[in-house]
Structure 1
Amino acid sequence: MTQPAADPDTAPGSPVRLRAVPGEGRPEVTPALEELYRGFERESLVPLWTEIGDLMPPHPRPRAVPHVWRWGRLRELAARSGDLVPVGRGGERRAIALANPSLGGRPFATPTLWAAVQYLMPGEDAPEHRHTQHAFRFVVEGEGVWTVVGRDPVAMRRGDFLPQAGWNWHAHHNATAEPMAWIDGLDIPFQYATDTQFFEFGRDEIGDEERITPDRSRAERLWGHPGLRPVSADVTGPGSPLLAYRWEHTDRALTDQLALEAEGYGGTVEPGHAAVRFTDPASAGDVLPTIRAEMHRITPGTETAPVRETGSSVYQVFDGSGRVTVDGSTWSVSRGDLFVVPSWQPLSIRSEAGADDSDSGALDLFRFSDAPIFEALRLDRAHIDRTRKEGTTR
């Protein structure tokens, strides 16, 4: 590990400070070694032998920690912000980001993922802009806000997942007399770390033709037909051209998986655990280049097998209640609560849902992760601990 040198003035202007430390496998501490280290400092060099334990550990040592945020408290603070904080140029959005406690106060849920509660008051507009960060919206409650992407008004309702690839113009407007909250997910930390982000202001106000409130957006009318791709459409940008994945379709898919399992057929990822992934209808790949989104349904009494994965995830409870364990931290969670699973930390979930707290009678969870990044780099790895059967790696 790099440590401060005994004499901090030996290499003015260099951030490198090295100290020769005796120990097994380390070079003998001599005046010649000390002089070698001063030379490294003057040239801003760091030898691998002082850093290898930190740079190349036997397994991931994530900077993020498991953490849970309670929806009731988030919703309350968002509502108070609605009374105090305007929406417009300067702040752009009334969005309140989850800050992982171990990431130095940065507004990052994980080192690669941003998650925030956005809140729009009755009649408010969030002005148009665009950015290279890939984004989505997920609605855990309410309706009445329309997001306008490329001048296409798209309704936002409970259970809907609305992806939006980077560098698309977008605005929001609340057409009702009630406020509305939802969660935003973006790859802001990833693009921030890699110095790839761009941002541009758009129009201050959207046009009257964008204030209409159609039941289906133009994107849904063109792309929202299962298994059918419009021959006329030429997809040129990254990400899904379908701007809304409606809850009724997601709910039906999860219900059918569990029904098939009950009939003795396959379809679930493990007994009592149904899951679907939102995909791009043009490519069948992930909806966004850097973000994967899924919906999970776990039947009452079912406990999932512990799983470790490289990369990180954020979950939100859509319906029901349960118990979540991440690397020894265990929480009871219910509708709206959000929690983080850092890289290579074991996750298991037990459903405690019932008819009194879940429309489906099960624990429904929305999940988004950075999996596409690691798959593209061939750094993806997962291990499922099926101790009752056998360990498997995929």
Structure 2
Amino acid sequence: MSVAAVAAPDNQTELQQMYAAIQAKSMFPFWARNSDVEHDEIKQLMEGPKPIPYRWSYATDIAPLLEQSARLVTTENTDRRSLILVNPGLAPRRATVSTMYTAYRQNDPNEVMPPHKHTASAIRFGLTGKQNFTGVEGEDITFGPGDLVLTPRDTWHNHGNTGDEPAINLSVLDYPLVESLNALQFSHDYREDGEYKRKQSARFPTEYSAMVYGSGGLLPRFVDHVRGGGDSSPMYVYRYEPMRELLHRHRDWSENPHEGLLIEYVHPVRGGPVYKTMTFFMQMVRPGEKTLPVKQTANLLVAPFEGAGKAYIDDQAFDLAPFDTLAIPGDCWTSYENTSRSEPLILFVASDEPALSSFGLLQRWGKTESGDVIRLA
């Protein structure tokens, strides 16, 4: 018997003991051994927790719980009342995809929460009710269905409803990304002149954002455009009607078979996304249209706003109905189909594209009608 054959069992025993010691000391070995499947470290790294494509139905999953939470949890119990969508592939982590989460909120009539701020950036998107309320850094914003409201990082803001009927909105935050960077902070002790207050005093006129930034291509030089932390869009509300009108004006444009009509909300002073970590779009899939598949490294959160249809993610099909949320992790082939022959399918889309782009990690591919893969970005 050879010396190697005699030594092999002893080596294997010592190897297993070493792996056990490494794990016990909170370390991870990184020297992938092709002959040892149990300790193929590259495979283990690639198979860590990942988000999966997943759809939450507004009608059956979300709306009943929103109504129940509004009845059972009052402003006397908490400063906020939101339902966070947790991706089953990432649970129990509070994340809808790896870097962002979507949350839904129902505010009862004349219900306004006290101010707070946090290092996560956020948006509010109106679903129902005409008098959703958000006060942001002294600008009181009343918004309705389809309106997008920014609450940039480190800006004092409070949410609520100033109308006489319930109002529902959804939020998207980069909370999971900021949490991963160990930079998440919250503050609730809002004061003016040293006195604690439950509502910010308005320092800007109603519709300030529209007054200053509402004319595309024209920028007033007589106002200070640095608001909040200074690195986010100073335009805090983007109304739906101009967006919808722009989509319909270009509904015959047919030069992008991969995305239909896609319009980005942009920073009115410097262009580009409203945040350094997230960007937002409205996307129209026209009646009878089916987009060609796209795969990208960016994660998407998609909420149908008008119309109905289907999304195809790799080998799965998902129905799309108003106010649902669909989680689309990066590296999934995705296409949309509008099953109506008369009504457009309009989608509200959140993406972590800016974060990936800043690290040089943003890539995008498409398939042609013949199935060939082409590079898009």
Deviations 1:185-243 (A, max 9, x none): 00111111221111111254226758x9x7x5223212222112221324261211001
Cα gap change, 1:45 to 1:175, in 2 (>3 Å): closer
Cα gap change, 1:353 to 1:142, in 2 (>3 Å): farther
Is 2:43 aligned against 1:54? yes
Q: 2:72: which partner in 1?
A: 84
Shift of 1:382: 1.3
Q: 1:110 aligns with which of 97, 121, 137?
A: 97
Q: 2:346 aligns with which of 327, 339, 364?
A: 364
Q: 1:391: which partner in 2?
A: 373
Is 2:362 aligned against 1:374? no
- Residues paired across the two proteins, number: 352
Gaps of 5+ in 2: 1-8, 32-38, 191-195
Cα gap change, 1:56 to 1:79, in 2 (>3 Å): closer
Q: Secondary structure at the match of 1:323?
A: strand
Q: 1:172: which partner in 2?
A: 159
Matches of residues 1-394 of structure 1 in structure 2 within 5 Å? 29-30=11-12, 33-34=15-16, 37=19, 40=22, 44-49=26-31, 50-54=39-43, 57=46, 63-73=50-60, 74-87=62-75, 91-201=78-188, 202=190, 203-206=196-199, 216-232=206-222, 233-235=224-226, 237-259=230-252, 261=253, 268-270=255-257, 273-355=260-342, 361-388=343-370, 390-393=372-375, 394=377
Q: Secondary structure at the match of 1:249?
A: helix
Identity %: 24
Cα gap change, 1:390 to 1:122, in 2 (>3 Å): same
In 1, the alpha carbon distance for the partners of 2:164 and 2:321 equals 27
In 2, the alpha carbon distance for the partners of 1:123 and 1:153 equals 15
Deviations 1:333-383 (A, max 9, x none): 22111111012011111001355xxxxx20000000111110000011111
Q: Secondary structure at the match of 2:103?
A: strand
Determine if contact 1:98/1:109 at 8 Å carries over to the other structure.
Answer: yes
Give the counterpart letter for 1:77 in structure 2.
L
In 2, the alpha carbon distance for the partners of 1:149 and 1:165 equals 9
Determine if contact 1:309/1:380 at 8 Å carries over to the other structure.
Answer: yes
Determine if contact 1:258/1:272 at 8 Å carries over to the other structure.
Answer: no
Shift of 1:41: 5.5
Cα gap change, 1:100 to 1:389, in 2 (>3 Å): closer
Cα gap change, 1:41 to 1:99, in 2 (>3 Å): closer
Shift of 1:30: 4.0
Determine if contact 1:326/1:347 at 8 Å carries over to the other structure.
Answer: yes
Shift of 1:244: 0.9
* Normalised TM-score (structure 2): 0.85
Cα gap change, 1:365 to 1:28, in 2 (>3 Å): farther
Deviations 1:105-130 (A, max 9, x none): 33321121110111110011111010
Q: 1:13: which partner in 2?
A: none
Determine if contact 2:110/2:161 at 8 Å carries over to the other structure.
Answer: yes
